[in-house]
Amino acid sequence: MKVKVIGAGLSGVEAAYYLANRGVKVVLYDIKPKAFTPAHKSENFAELVCSNSLKSADVFGNAAGLLKEEMRLLGSLTMEAAEVSKVPAGGALAVNREEFSRYITDKIKSHKNIECIAEEITKIPDGGYTLIATGPLTTAPLAEDIKALAGAMYFYDASAPIIAADSIDMEYAFKGDRYGKGDGDHINCPMNKDEYQAFYDALISAERATLHEFEKSDVFEGCMPVEIMAARGKDTLRFGPLKPVGLDDPKTGRWAYATLQLRREDQVGTMYNMVGFQTNLKFAEQKRVFSMIPALKNAEFLRYGVMHRNTFINSPKALNVDYSFKTRPSVFIAGQITGVEGYVESAGSGLLAAIYLERKLSGKNEILISENTVLGALSRYITTENKDFEPMNANFGILPPISVKDKKERKRLMAERSLAAVRQFKSEISEGENL
């Protein structure tokens, strides 16, 4: 039986390569070179559009580095291509874009089990197994068909930063909900007048990220960046996301001059979202400016805020944990369109979806990768009920916590636990194979 893979970006080629290496016949569809999205220029597959960096290479101190090692252990084509095309980048893994993309394209096009067809797919194929990996710039007709299957689709990503809970300085914060209503799931970060003024001045003068031309028309349509809101007047934020009303500071018994609320992002309470702080500031500027809030002076940003064109589905409602649709289990979907954020995260989802698809196709029993791995934690994050669902990147906050106070040691132990789980998973899925 053939598997149709739609889209030859990072997640699509990763999935196609894994399946083909296990004897599955793959038909890989991509609109290039007959047509191009507004972001793409090269005829090659797996084109890196925004940056040549695949983020940190630190396996034991950074979740992005750990994710890469997990994928290496599972035979990732992305990691193979990165190794042969890497360029000096300090503690990060960066690649020569052209060499990286060309290497992957050659591997895919020369594979005996992969047939490449340059064609726009406008409808999810009927019959057989399909894996959709069309990314944030899915063409309109197919996007509508996916939307009909998924039940909902979002056409831009307006996300606020997420903070590690243990990096919030509770000496300058307090828990509680407005007017005492709710279950106390918010952490409140008060500022006095001088602190707010310094923060405000830094915010309105901070450097913003550049938008692509095709993003400008719809990114800000439904959600205003906090820096744009601030530019409307000095007190605008104090009547908006920094409204102190109903939040009594236990230290003073009064409302502060301005108060940022942090909302719990996960059930365990390891991550908190900066409520109302969707932003288009550059990442370094987010770290500099938002750390001026006293409770966030030592904040660890698990995910920075982003605002860009990013088509993605409501995965918690639409998907099973194996990346198949609940209402149509023969159709799988992977990449940014599922709500994973980043190059390597997208490729990793394609790899994991292909592993699960191959087992289903072959009639093998389902084996899920452990939630102690970044791959497993991401797949569970995007498929766990969440009324405030937003895309997520690799970070230690999505992994089950380990009760060790020293942060460096804790991350090292989490990484070791993860790699042991990946090796176990690889052994289980490889049982009986002779590759």
pLDDT at 221: 46
Query: Does the pLDDT value for residue 193 go beyond 80?
Result: yes
Q: Which residue has the tokens 């569970």?
A: 380
Q: Are residues 224 and 281 in the same domain?
A: yes
Mean pLDDT of the chain: 91
Q: b/e per residue, 44-79, with b = 16+ CB within 10 A?
A: bbbbbbeebebbbbbbbebbbbbbbbbbbebbbbbb
Q: Are residues 168 and 146 in the same domain?
A: no
Q: Are residues 126 and 98 in the same domain?
A: yes
State what percent of residues in the chain have pLDDT above 90.
75
Q: Are residues 301 and 317 in the same domain?
A: no
In a domain, 175, yes or no: yes
> Range of 364's domain?
2-155+309-428
Q: State the Cα–Cα distance between residues 141 and 123, nearest whole angstrom.
A: 7
pLDDT at 425: 98
Q: Are residues 19 and 37 in the same domain?
A: yes
In a domain, 358, yes or no: yes
CATH of the domain at 209: 2.40.30.260
In a domain, 433, yes or no: no
Q: Are residues 177 and 84 in the same domain?
A: no
In a domain, 435, yes or no: no
CATH of the domain at 87: 3.50.50.60
Q: Are residues 315 and 351 in the same domain?
A: yes
Q: Are residues 304 and 167 in the same domain?
A: yes
Q: Are residues 169 and 143 in the same domain?
A: no
Q: Are residues 14 and 128 in the same domain?
A: yes
Residue that terminates a domain, selected from 308, 339, 354: 308
Residue that terminates a domain, selected from 260, 285, 308: 308
Question: Left if phi > 0, otherwise alpha if psi is -120 to 50, otherwise beta: which for 21?
Answer: alpha
Q: Are residues 206 and 236 in the same domain?
A: yes
Q: State the Cα–Cα distance between residues 69 and 75, nearest whole angstrom.
A: 10
Q: Are residues 150 and 69 in the same domain?
A: yes
Q: What is the mean pLDDT of residues 235-250?
A: 94
C-alpha 232 chain-centroid distance: 31
In a domain, 136, yes or no: yes
Q: What is the mean pLDDT of residues 195-199?
A: 98
Domain total in the chain: 2
33 upstream amide cis, omega within 30 of 0? yes
In a domain, 434, yes or no: no
Which band of pLDDT confidence, cut at 50, 70 and 90, is reported for residue 211? low
Query: Does the pLDDT value for residue 39 go beyond 60?
Result: no
pLDDT digits (tens, 9 = 90+) for 272-313: 999 889 898 999 999 999 999 999 999 999 989 987 767 899
